Amino acid sequence: MKDASPQTIYLADYTVPAYHVDSVHLTFQLHPTATRVTSKIAFRPNPESADRAFYLHGEHMKLISARIDGQPVDVSLTPDGLTADVPDAPFIWEAEVEIDPQSNTALEGLYLSNGMFCTQCEAEGFRRITYYPDRPDVMSVFTVRIMSDLPVLLSNGNPTDSGDGWAEWHDPWPKPAYLFALVAGDLVAHSDSFTTSEGRDVALNIYVRADDIDKCAFGMEALKASMVWDERVYGRAYDLDIFNIVAVDDFNMGAMENKGLNIFNSSAVLASPETATDANFERIEAIIAHEYFHNWTGNRITCRDWFQLCLKEGLTVFRDQQFTADTRDPAVARINDVNALRGRQFREDAGPLSHAVRPDSFVEINNFYTATIYEKGAEIIRMLMTILGEEDYYKGLTEYFDRHDGQAVTIEDFFACFGDDDPRLAGFSRWWHQSGTPHVTIEQAWQGSELTLTARQETPPSAQQQHKEALPIPLAVGLIDADGRDLTPTSVLMLNDTTQSWTIDTRTTTPAWRDTNASASDQQNSDASDAPTLSLNRGFAAPIILHADQSENDLLRLMAHDSDTFSAWEAGRTLALNTLGDMARGIKTPSDAYVDAWCLSLRSEDRAPAFRALASALPSTMDIATHLKSQGHTPDPQAIYDARETLSQQFAEAAQDSLQRLFAQHQVTQSYRPDAEQSGKRALCGRILGLITRLDGGAEAAKQHANADNMTSQLTALGCLIGTEHATKSLEAFYQQWAHERLVIDKWFGIQIGQAAPADASKVAKFLTEHEAFNVKNPNRFRATLGALAANTAGFHTAGGSGYALLADWLITLDGINPQTTARMTSAFETWAMWDSARGEKMRVEMKRILSTPNLSSDTTEMITRILG
Ligand code: 0A1
Ligand code: ZN
């Protein structure tokens, strides 16, 4: 068990490690219930530390023996480690411990997954393997000997020697313990090779169970593309002779960037056209890139302490977003990024879990692998690039790699590489320290042909930070005329103060913005229909909530014509939010102009199918609820659900005449490729099939479901059929067809719950938790079931509270098995204050019930306590 009274850890308390580690030798004698780990570690007192206390982390293990410089030593065991008296000079520590991988259901440290030994050491899993100073600023060179009868024995670095029943690995690059990895199993490899720009030949392998060998080719291509991209764009080449990826069925997160031995959740690497959807392929490509890019941003340069987590995660997410934008359609990629940011990070930042990208304190670091640290962290790097321009951005990055290679550093070290005193970056570091999403209100005023734009920013106070300062916000602004032509190129206006104004004379030949002090308030809004229209926050250059109060006409113009594809989508989304919000409140029906524009956009040959698929989708129930809340209304999830249904039906009827034609026109006839072009067409056809189903009761979808030769088409059709008379038969057929494929059965669980009508969702979820294929110990299956319930907003938030109770029951059960996944899933309750008081209270009651569970983990305790506030 963990320490019973978890401590809050403060950034301000950081001190350098008392000892350096010069080398680590580990020997593993693998056994399912009694693995012996022998360590031989060379310690050296750190002259920069005044502290001589010798402390090693260690949990969940039995100490067999300990020696210093060959002599047995007495140690004092603490609940989470040990202390000992040590010489005041370099010394060799040797210890033997015993651990039990089989009973390790937490999936941290060394554990067993379907007979395969594997490890997860980030953030603090290594301390479950042996006694060690388990902190990221202790970096060392590791040599690892694995003894086991299993045929494949892997660790970090390069293989150095092997024999019957053993293998040895050596990693020449100093690394913190969180990047340690070991795998042993009955595995087969999909192999390839790569020659780096520096001329190094690298062996590439994806290790999987034999059944999965046909699902590795795409991942391998993605890996090679990532290697090429990082050399081309960031000048970073790979640095070992071998790069291994292993697919594991039981894994808490997506994947892990262990040096030279990435371990992946099988859902984040295995794919074949028959078993994986286009969205799966795209996610796999992004995660492979992400983990590979960590080799430089995370591994070669790592974090000094866990408060700096965004240093590696925000930067690496930004790099994987750039890679996806380069590999696929950049506008579509950006829309997907922003949808994810709003859906997870804005939501987090608006509630009780709001925290800074670089927090000042935490209890359980595992609870800080958040959307804020990852996604907002990436947005900050994006803004850095927007403000500095590409050339200076890459110059700063090169400086960072040159200056800090081999070190464990801080956000300040990173930021200093861009020139501490660059006036363009004044105040920029606040983005890392201040939590909350800034609201920016835009007013426009016309005087003749002159337009004055006034921007005002405000970040609402949050529980941990009452006072918020103005942030430097890059506002990317365009101006388009009545025919939709750009009057100016996109201009980046820097909003540094609380309020600022800029003026532009729209009649000059090359209109340009200039700073003004003019207040917009005494001037007139233009109501001339031929006045130019502002296109705001183009490309979502800043992660802000914009209040621009643009007219329906302006939004329709932007939706149809904006040269910034992201902003065209954004205008359509704003129109949809306004419409659905009003419908949910029962105060308005959709305007004809909006419905016509939506039909036009579905048919528009000028835009890529992938874009049209996104543009024709309605904002999520949660997005609409958030929108209503920001307008001061209490959202009713059922009313929002009904509004979405009504509008979708209206769209289907309005577009009726063109649906079959569009559906036929965009069918993919070539053999399956998961690339941007084909997947865009399938996404559009999927949208259209949803509309057709509203009109034909599912006949077309049932046909597609029965005949599909790829998972995207099959699953899309199955999703359409839920709620129709074809549902039961199709779900049964799907299960029979795919019962042997775990990742496909996860989809089967997820789609039934995710697409269930509100009144059915928790009943379906409960029924499926009793299904023979449900497995509480497998995080993917648990998420596919209970996570899908939480994501079905109207279904989870039914007025009776059955969704809340079911989730709470299962989180209580899971906590004793896997605290990390339990804690992450408590965020389903983070929106309690958004709903009416009856719902909010029911959510609080369930959270208190969880909290009162005897022996609740510190992970879950921290999360629930923070959410309750
Ligand atoms: N560093 C990995 C994700 C990861 C984080 C934490 C984990 O356990 C607490 C596991 C994996 C990444 O960013 O991909
Ligand atoms: Zn990462």
pLDDT at 519: 56
pLDDT of residue 524: 55
Model confidence at 464, pLDDT cuts 50, 70, 90, reads: confident
Distance from the CA of 453 to the center of ligand 1, in angstroms?
43
- pLDDT tens digit string along 255-269? 999 999 999 999 999
**Options 59, 108, 168, 291, the catalytic residue:** 291
pLDDT of residue 1: 41
* Inside any domain, residue 48: yes
Output the pLDDT for position 518: 58
For atom 13 of ligand 1, the residue with the nearest CA is: 313
Look-up of token digits 């951005």: 393
pLDDT at residue 397 above 70?
A: yes
**Do 502 and 413 belong together in one domain?**
no
Ligand 2 is an ion; residues with CB less than 5 A from it: 313, 316
Instruction: Answer whether residue 622 is part of any domain.
Output: no
Q: Is residue 259 part of a domain?
A: no
- Tell me the per-residue pLDDT of 684-699, one tens digit each, with 9 for 90 and over: 999 999 999 999 999 9
Residue 480 in domain: yes
The mean predicted confidence, pLDDT, of the chain is 97
Same domain, 444 and 419: no
C-beta separation of 39 from 24 below 8 A:
yes
- Pocket (CB within 6 angstroms of ligand 1): 120, 122-123, 252-257, 290-291, 313, 366, 369
Mean pLDDT of 381-393: 98
Mutate to test the pocket of ligand 1, among 119, 251, 256, 859 (most ligand atoms within 8 A of CB): 256
Tell me, what's the pLDDT at 773? Answer: 98
Its domain, for residue 306, covers 301-432
Residue 15 maps to a domain: yes
Tell which one of 259, 369, 821, 824 to mutate to probe ligand 1, the residue whose CB is within 8 A of the most ligand atoms: 369
Residue 674 has pLDDT above 50, yes or no: yes
Alpha helices in 301-410 (DSSP H): 309-327, 330-340, 347-349, 371, 377-388, 390-404
Of 383, 402, 432, the domain-final residue: 432
Q: What is the pLDDT of residue 681?
A: 98
Residue 3 has pLDDT above 50, yes or no: no
Distance, CA of 264 to CA of 248 (rounded, Å)? 6
Do residue 382 and residue 482 come from a single domain? Answer: no
Tokens 């698929």 appear where? 613
Together in a domain, 138 and 5: yes
Task: Judge whether 496 and 428 are in contact, CB under 8 Å.
Answer: no
Domain termination residue (choose one: 545, 579, 602) = 545
CA separation for the pair 824, 344 (Å, rounded): 12
Instruction: Say how many domains are in the chain.
Output: 4
pLDDT tens per residue across span 546-588: 999 999 999 999 999 999 999 999 999 999 999 999 999 999 9
753 and 779, same structural domain?
Answer: yes
pLDDT tens digits, 589-623: 999 999 999 999 999 999 999 999 999 999 999 99
The label of the residue with tokens 């024709």 reads 616
427 with 451, same domain: the answer is no
Is the bond into 123 cis (omega within 30 degrees of 0)? yes
Q: Do 312 and 426 fall within a single domain?
A: yes
The string of pLDDT tens digits covering residues 427-455 is: 999 999 999 999 999 999 999 999 999 99
254 part of a folded domain: no
Are 490 and 423 members of one domain?
no
Cα distances (angstroms) measured from residue 448 to each of 175, 502, 514, 533, 685: 64, 15, 16, 15, 47
User: Is residue 618 within 8 Å of 576, Cβ to Cβ?
Assistant: yes
Q: From the CA of 109, how far away is ligand 1's center (Å)?
A: 13
8 Å CB contact between 677 and 611: no
Judgement on whether residues 14 and 154 belong to the same structural domain of the protein: yes
Residue 204 lies inside a defined structural domain of this protein: no
Sign (positive or negative) of CA dihedral 264, 787, 736, 709: negative
Q: Which residues contact 847 (CB under 8 A, 6 or more apart)?
A: 808, 826, 829, 832, 864, 867, 868
Tokens 């922003």, residue located: 338
- CATH code at 484? 2.60.40.1840
- Quote the pLDDT of residue 6: 78
| Predicted pLDDT at 2 | 45
CATH number at residue 860: 1.25.50.10
**Residues 457 and 496: beta-carbon distance below 8 Å:** no
Give me the mean pLDDT over the 207-232 stretch.
98
The atom of ligand 1 lying closest to the CA of 256 is 2
Question: Catalytic site residue 98?
Answer: no
Q: Report d(CA 863, CA 436) in Å as an integer.
A: 18
336's tokens: 């997907």
Whole-number pLDDT of residue 743: 98
Query: What digits encode the pLDDT tens for the residues 488-529?
Result: 999 999 999 999 999 999 989 899 999 997 554 555 555 567
Same domain for 326 and 416, yes or no, is yes
CATH at 332: 1.10.390.10
Residue among 793, 796, 826 nearest 619 (CA): 793
Q: Three-state DSSP class for 368?
A: helix
Mean pLDDT of 298-303: 98
> Measuring from atom 7 of ligand 1, which residue has the nearest CA?
122
* Domain-located, residue 341: yes
Distances (CA, A) of 355 to 150, 368, 372, 460, 465: 45, 9, 7, 13, 9
pLDDT in tens, 42-59: 999 999 999 999 999 999
Check whether residue 470 and residue 423 sit in a common domain.
Answer: no
Q: Which of 381, 402, 432 is the last residue of a domain?
A: 432
Antiparallel, parallel or unpaired: β 450-458 and 499-505: antiparallel
**Residues 18 and 158 placed together within one structural domain of the fold:** yes
Q: Which pTM does this prediction carry?
A: 0.98
